[in-house]
Amino acid sequence: MDPWTLAYTGFDPRSEGVRETLCTLGNGYFATRGATPDGLVMRVPGTYAAGCYDRLTSRVAGREVVNEDLVNLPDWLPLTFAASGAPWFRPETADLLGYEQELDMRHGVLHRRLRFRDGQGRVTSVRQRRLVSMAAPHLAALECAFTAENWSGPLRVRAVLDGRVTNRGVRRYRDLRGDHLIGHATGTRDGCAWLRTRTRASGTPISLAMRVTADHQTGREAACEDPRITEDPRIAEDPRIAGDAWVLGDAWIAGEPTLSLRRGRTATLTKTIALTTSPALDAVDLVRRAPGFEELLRGHRDAWDRLWERALMDVGEPQVAQIVHLHVFHLLQTLSPHTAALDVGVPARGLHGEAYRGHVFWDELFVLPWLDLRLPEVSRGLLLYRWRRLPAARRAARRAGHAGAMFPWQSGSDGREETPSLHLNPDSGRWLPDHSRLQRHIGLAVAYNVWHHHLATGDTAFLTEFGAELLVEIARFFASLAVLDPRSGRYGIHGVMGPDEYHDAYPGASAPGLDNNAYTNVMTVWLLLRTREVLDLVHGHERFAVTAGELDRWRDVTRRMRVDFHDGVISQFTGYADLAELDWKRYAGVRRLDRALEAEGDDPDLYRASKQADVLMLFYLLGSAQVREILGRLGYPASRRLTDRTVAYYLRRTCHGSTLSAVVHAWVLARSQPAGAWHFFTEALLADVEDVQGGTTAEGIHLGAMAGTLDLLQRRYLGLEIHEHGIGLDPLPLDRLGGIALPIRVRGTSLFVEADHRRITVTRDGGGHRRFRVTVRGRDTCLGPDERRSFPLD
């Protein structure tokens, strides 16, 4: 197995959705799904630009609903071909003699090789290479090499820019409007074809330009000689074109060059495109000046080489290494250095599909801890996305009657709440109320990431200018949520949801929301403690008008917050112990328990059954010792046995309906139950490769789960902890992984860490002057520039 290649053999339209997602190519500015450029399955093509959203109103279940979507942009991929007298090539209908597709993750290139025989017995082989440039973020290219194996003659090629696309990539959303593109125009200039359009509501201008070149078997790339540019949609009436793959319309433009093939010789054609979402950039000028494919590829490979120097994670076991590389690859394609300058957040499904409408949730909680140690400028930019939306979050808090800033559970372009009011259960066909906007803990995720970014980077300037303000405003919001009960003397937080989305209300309640979600309450205490620490660090009390009375109340909340317990474990929320036990044998293996129960007329709110980790998120983020410390501060007895009992209790009652659940469970079991942790770690690794959630991968990758597996390797399996003056390492047994090697950058110091079951070695680069402390299982050393130390692991 090549750990740098994801390979597929054969063509199967039923599996194309997953292939398209996993073979997506992107550069942090835009990404294009790995669809075939010539297949009928490309009726739902996918190209998405970071932060390009649009809002439409649909009528659903008798009411109007407004949704903002990450827009499916005009399709630049279509390219097909035909020999004289033959229909256009389509893999679904062709007599295929061979078909292979390979994703080169090391260099960011998608390869495709096929052989087919047409109705006249002519055998043609085709080799394609595709890239979305990591060096020039507005450029992409598709190179096609054609070899006539047993014939000679003309080969007609059709290269298209197609603006007739809509958001149709998720079946359950198809009752909602997806016609975001309007105002199409096409034309030619300087030997290039162009297509312009704009988004319907937001008015974002989108431009595509295409240049088609061929070597005509001379070995020299040159512009096609006067390719025929077709704007007339009646060309689609050609009876040789199969079925309804071509929808009539005028929002497309095609170039149709003809290659003269000679038996046994290869002719190459390249389609180069430029995509822009700003009127300040001329797509035609960009594509006209773009280099040829080989030069474009060299720059692209060099950019990937530089990225891998910072982001490489090598694992000794080849199959694990392949998936680890895949996860790093897709993380970098979604959030690259090009992203740092954009005003965008972390889309939960990457730039790889339309699930969750491209919205930003709390997945950054699983993503930024990995980015902080490799691409801190990117994580800084992602945190600025939240900071820029503080005004909207403050307005939302005020409307809800609270202080500070209330961030939305789902965010998009401008910071308003994008969580839909209805969601479709595909099992029952019913549209149901969606209360998940009550997951106020999104603000806690933002705060955690601000704090971790400071720990990892030591960027006091960021903390002073932006981070402290985020923490203060989020702290004010959660402090205002906390209400003192004079009878118990405890503060409570009411009417919220925790991470477990299967519980949004009490059985029979007239209004949604739960009281005293343990994750929310304990993390609120953590937040208030950290915010006070940061205020002291940046001397920000006066700047943010934090009064002595406010600090006193925060201190009181951190001493008297309510947390419920039952059966010797932490209760997920007040009243959890009153819920019924589910018949788990009946629903064994059912991950979307909410859909299954609702389709039967039942309700998950009635049962002690979780979609994903909720209480256990506390141990994932804070660790057992810090959770016990906070509980002790609150006056609750908290022993090590509480952690073990709580983990075991909820593990038996969780169906893992989210890919994030496996990440969290692998984390909390890693030191106490290595075999169980390995089970969940491998499930998280395979979540998208094997589509373990059953049909969701085709709608986009699960970016949080991908990043979570990488963070598991560094912070759990290596036991990496960041301290003020260095790092600590306490590796778990690494036999199954065969060793780990990775670079990290901590507070301006670059290190390379290598570990196997015998020893761990830390190498420091030549930058900096001060000595850097490294602690391995309690053994301290200081590394100067260019020093290397090894520690035996007994």
Structure tokens at 369: 């801890």
Q: How far apart are CA 424 and CA 429, in angstroms?
A: 7
Q: How far is residue 702 from each of residues 22, 273, 363, 522, 708, measured CA to CA in Å?
A: 11, 28, 9, 27, 10
The answer for residues whose C-beta is within 8 angstroms of residue 716's C-beta and 6 or more apart is 666, 667, 670, 732
Tokens 């339309």 belong to which residue? 354
Query: What phi and psi, each to the nearest 5 degrees, are found at residue 75?
Result: -90, 120
User: Measured over all CA atoms, what is the biggest interatomic distance in the chain, rounded to whole angstroms?
Assistant: 91
Q: How many helices (H) and strands (E) does the chain have?
A: 18, 35
Tokens of 662: 């496996």
Structure tokens at 59: 């009528």
Tell me which residue has tokens 């064994």: 588
Helix (H) or strand (E) holding 565: strand 565-566
CA neighbor of 773 nearest in space, from 711, 719, 716, 729: 729
d(CA 480, CA 554): 10
Indicate which residue of 418, 501, 683, 699 is catalytic: 501
* Strand pairing report for 205-214 and 109-117: unpaired
Dihedral (C-alpha) 382, 616, 510, 410: value to the nearest 10 degrees? Answer: 10
Give the residue among 493, 379, 388 at the shortest CA–CA distance from 438.
493
Query: In this structure, what token pair is assigned to residue 426?
Result: 């595909």
In terms of Cα–Cα distance, which of 130, 132, 162, 123 is closest to 144? Answer: 130
Is residue 785 within 8 Å of residue 768, measured between CB atoms?
yes
- Confirm whether 501 is a catalytic residue: yes
Cα–Cα distances in angstroms (integers) from residue 271 to residues 72, 88, 655, in the given order: 20, 18, 47
Token pair of 294, please?
A: 């080989």
Whether residue 618 contacts residue 628, with contact meaning beta carbons closer than 8 Å, is answered with no
β-bridge pairing 252-256 and 153-162: antiparallel
Do 19 and 10 touch, CB atoms closer than 8 A? no
Q: CA distances (Å), 305 to each of 129, 310, 507, 670, in order?
A: 18, 9, 55, 33
Residues designated catalytic: 501
